[in-house]
């Protein structure tokens, strides 16, 4: 079984160290981010499980092609930005990660946070494009859970051990979006929420302090 540090690296979570080591900002594995708007679902995808599986399969195929393309880094960064917006419920994930502090934040802080969260996703994922050359994944079973459809895959990269990754897909029947990634049983959005809560606890529950730390990381890594 892969250890936690290896999983963090594989999935693409950056250890951004907001004031303290070990703080992480969620950045879903690029394989989660390959779906353009208007996915054409195959005729056989009649159930929510089938639709979720087809959604992940289509994304994975497109992502592998995008990562292995010969375009410039900037071209791939722009493509990834569009893919993120189309495939992932970014705002929903961001709100979940902020937890109870979302309700105490002002409307202005909420808007700043959503924008910074999205920017950090783009920065983190763009910085790892080269690491995923040669990536491939194998589709497994899909399970219906309260949180959504859970699509299992095995992700492989050259010179790295395979990893069991599950994608949580919400609203599969109408407008599928990824809301979480589970690596060897570890939920990435829960991990991120815990890290944010820990940071805020150390900083007087000051949302502006978190915003400033994320803003600094975006600036340093852009």
Give residue 6's pLDDT.
41
Q: Which residue has the higher pLDDT, 22 or 56?
A: 56
Quick one: tokens of 174? 């109408």
Alpha helices in 41-129, H assignment, sequence order: 48-67, 73-87, 90-98, 101-104, 107-126
Which residue from 3, 5, 7, 6 is spatially nearest to 183, judged by alpha carbons? 7
pLDDT digits (tens, 9 = 90+) for 158-175: 888 888 899 999 998 889
User: What is the distance between the alpha carbons of residues 156 and 171, in angstroms, rounded to a whole number?
Assistant: 27
Task: Report d(CA 101, CA 98) in Å as an integer.
Answer: 6
- pTM here is 0.78
- 128 pLDDT tier (thresholds 50, 70, 90): confident
Contacts of 141 (CB under 8 A, 6+ apart): 152
Percentage of the chain beyond pLDDT 90 is 35
Residue with the bigger pLDDT between 211 and 129: it is: 211
CATH superfamily of this structure's domain 4-221 = Tgt2/MlaC (3.10.450.710)
pLDDT in tens, 64-93: 777 777 777 778 777 777 777 888 899 999
For residues 47-57, give the mean pLDDT: 89
Sequence-distant (≥ 6) Cβ neighbours of residue 176 within 8 angstroms: 39, 51, 52, 55, 169, 170
Higher pLDDT, 211 or 121: 211
């Amino acid at each position: 079984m892969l250890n936690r540090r290896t999983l963090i690296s594989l999935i693409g979570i950056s250890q951004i160290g907001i004031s303290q080591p070990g703080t992480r900002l969620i950045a879903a594995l690029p394989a989660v981010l390959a779906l353009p708007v208007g996915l054409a679902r195959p005729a056989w995808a009649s159930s929510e499980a089938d639709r979720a599986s087809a959604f992940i399969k289509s994304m994975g195929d497109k992502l592998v092609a995008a990562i292995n393309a010969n375009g410039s880094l900037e071209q791939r960064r722009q493509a990834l930005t569009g893919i993120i917006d189309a495939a992932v419920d970014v705002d929903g994930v961001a709100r979940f990660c902020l937890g109870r502090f979302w309700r105490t934040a002002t409307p202005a802080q909420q808007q700043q946070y959503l924008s910074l969260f999205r920017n950090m996703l783009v920065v983190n994922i763009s910085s790892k494009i080269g690491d995923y050359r040669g990536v491939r994944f194998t589709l497994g079973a899909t399970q219906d859970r309260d949180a959504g459809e859970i699509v299992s895959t095995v992700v492989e990269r050259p010179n790295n051990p395979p990893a069991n990754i599950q994608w949580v897909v919400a609203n599969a029947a109408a407008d599928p979006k990824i809301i979480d990634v589970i690596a060897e049983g570890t939920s990435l959005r829960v991990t991120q929420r815990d890290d944010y809560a820990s940071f805020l606890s150390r900083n007087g529950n000051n949302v502006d302090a978190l915003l400033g730390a994320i803003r600094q990381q975006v600036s340093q890594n852009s």
